[in-house]
Amino acid sequence: MHFVIMGCGRVGASLARSLERLGHDVAVVDQDPIAFRRLGSEFNGRRIAGVGFDRDTLEQAGITQAYAFAAVSSGDNSNILAARVARETFGVEHVVARIYDPDRAQVYQRLGIPTVATVRWTADQVLRRMLPQGQASEMTDASGRLVVAEIQISSAWVGRRLTAIEEATGARVAYITRLGEGVLPGPDTVHQEDDLVHLVIRKEYVHDVERILDGQPPQED
């Protein structure tokens, strides 16, 4: 798959190298060509010098073919603007923005753009939000049989209790992230728009769970 990353600082370079090691095609955008040195000589992806929220620059980076886009430059405004251009102009479904201000991060989370404040930010967190979940789990138990995975859920499930998700998939909800905060759900907790749901799943069933939650929920009695 093709991925576009805006910002070639420490996080952006680490993310680009990780994606390429996983066999993906990567394009990195940065205003400063010198920043591309962080990618190292073994990086084979595209290096695009330009402004990351400029449409022509993004098109050079292959944004129209991108599976996901990450804005991880050093500026909040640039990151959120680039993320919105990627999503609203080019229709990229999987978009992540690095935000330094935790309060602003919550605002943009409500707009449907996954964000993490810089004090909690790692390249691994970006990677989990860009890749299909089967390729990047949050945790695996010692036996390798169980994973904790953040699963993308269709908006058709909004308003349903999390227990309905468990019943439909056979998985267990470990916790949810709501407006940037971790929440332990109760039996009556309802799935809200923009919730990030973290499920405990048997490894061999991850793709089945993804397929179920990407579709319509069963009819309620």
Q: Is the pTM of this model over 0.85?
A: no
172/59 Cα distance (integer angstroms): 41
Residue 58 near residue 31 (C-beta atoms within 8 A):
no
199-215 per-position pLDDT tens digit? 999 888 888 888 898 88
Residue 181's Cβ-side half-sphere holds a number of Cα atoms within 13 Å equal to 7
Residue 68 near residue 92 (C-beta atoms within 8 A):
yes
List phi, psi (to 5°) of 87: -80, -50
169/69 Cα distance (integer angstroms): 29
68-87 per-position pLDDT tens digit? 999 988 888 899 899 999 99
39/156 Cα distance (integer angstroms): 40
142/140 Cα distance (integer angstroms): 7
Residue 173 near residue 193 (C-beta atoms within 8 A):
no
Percent of the chain with pLDDT over 90: 39
